[in-house]
Amino acid sequence: MAASDRLRSTQSTVSMRIQELERFLGVSLFERERSQRSLRLTAKGRALLPLAEKMIQIEMEIRSVVVAPENISGELRVGVAEVISVTWLPRLIKTMREIYPKVSIEMDEGLTHTLIEQLKIGSLDLVLAPGRPSESLFRSRDLGCLDFYWMASPSLPLPNGPISPKEIVAWPIITLSQESFHHRSIDEWFQSEEVVFKRFDTCKSLSVAASLAVAGMGITLLPTRCYKKEIEDGALKIVQTSPPMPRVSFSATTLINGTQPLAEIVATLAAQISDFEKEGT
């Protein structure tokens, strides 16, 4: 089912194409276990897989080099972090539509960990998110950095002046899920001062975290750029801390052996369009 969904075809059509290929090559590519209703590649199938991936990549590269940009068609699946969605993503999509009008873009907003896993299994072609995967199968381009600060409602009786991790744990901490880059960054900040935070509430988006903070439900970490209005209106205030939170870097990540060359082009374009602060600027 996963293969048919990805190819936007029916399961029976995919099965028929596999059988045609096996007849043409004169070998079995899959071991079929009826009892478990599962497929596993045979030794010949495993040998063919990297060659098939190369063929797809070469075909796409030929199209991207020879075909005029306005005539290139297809679908690009992009995973995007929430902060990028509400900042410069619309400019990227607008530019894409101008250069590649026949390319459809399918966007999936989510947490970095989830998006990278989807990229790894081929459900996405490109991920625009915080952090930089360390695994060798990925290629990343710098998208710049954003400043994140602890914020809370002015109604919370927080002490004046910079407060330490040991002091801040006296208040409920609002984070994204424990698998998120957001939660990991907060955890690393506390660990740097040998503090363990146990009193926290999780949610699925920064906008929800901000709403909870505005309601006085706790302290959360937010990008100042996205919440200037709430700060100016007095709904949120920046909580100065010592040490300060490190800046958050963002990257455009693709698979090194991916089969969608357009993903590399758009990753480069995203790096050019991103207005997050770059090193040396």
Residue ranges covered by each domain of the chain: 1-41, 54-145+251-273, 148-246
Average pLDDT score, the chain: 86
**pLDDT tens digits, one per residue of 187-210:** 999 999 999 888 889 998 999 999
Residues 6 or more apart in contact with residue 160 via CB below 8 angstroms: none
What's the one-letter identity of residue 149?
A: Y
Bridge partner residues of 146 (DSSP) = 248
Mean pLDDT confidence for 148-154: 96
Q: Please give the pLDDT value at position 18.
A: 80
Residues 6 or more apart in contact with residue 2 via CB below 8 angstroms: none
Mean pLDDT confidence for 28-43: 72
Pick the CATH number of 148-246 from 3.30.70.2390, 1.10.10.10, 3.40.47.10, 3.40.190.10: 3.40.190.10
Mean pLDDT confidence for 25-40: 71
Length of the chain: 281
Residues 6 or more apart in contact with residue 54 via CB below 8 angstroms: none
Q: What's the per-residue H, E or C state across the chain?
A: CHHHHHCCCCHHHHHHHHHHHHHHHCCCCEEEECCCCEEEECHHHHHHHHHHHHHHHHHHHHHHHHCCHHHCCEEEEEEECHHHHCCCHHHHHHHHHHHCCCEEEEEEECCHHHHHHHHHCCCCCEEEEECCCCCCCEEEEEEEEECEEEEECCCCCCCCCCECHHHHCCCCEEEECCCCHHHHHHHHHHHHCCCCCCCEEEECCHHHHHHHHHCCCCEEEEEHHHHHHHHHCCCCEEECECCCCCCEEEEEEEECCCCCHHHHHHHHHHHHHCCCECCCC
Domain 54-145+251-273 has CATH 3.40.190.10: yes
Q: Please give the pLDDT value at position 69.
A: 60
Name which residue leads in pLDDT, 276 or 60. Answer: 276
Mean pLDDT confidence for 224-242: 95
**pLDDT tens digits, one per residue of 236-250:** 999 999 999 999 999
Topology alike, domains 54-145+251-273 and 148-246: yes
Mean pLDDT confidence for 104-114: 93
Q: Please give the pLDDT value at position 1.
A: 46
Q: Please give the pLDDT value at position 40.
A: 79
Question: Does position 121 have pLDDT exceeding 60, yes or no?
Answer: yes
Q: List the one residue out of 23, 3, 25, 29 whose CA is nearest residue 14.
A: 3
Residues 6 or more apart in contact with residue 258 via CB below 8 angstroms: 57, 125, 264
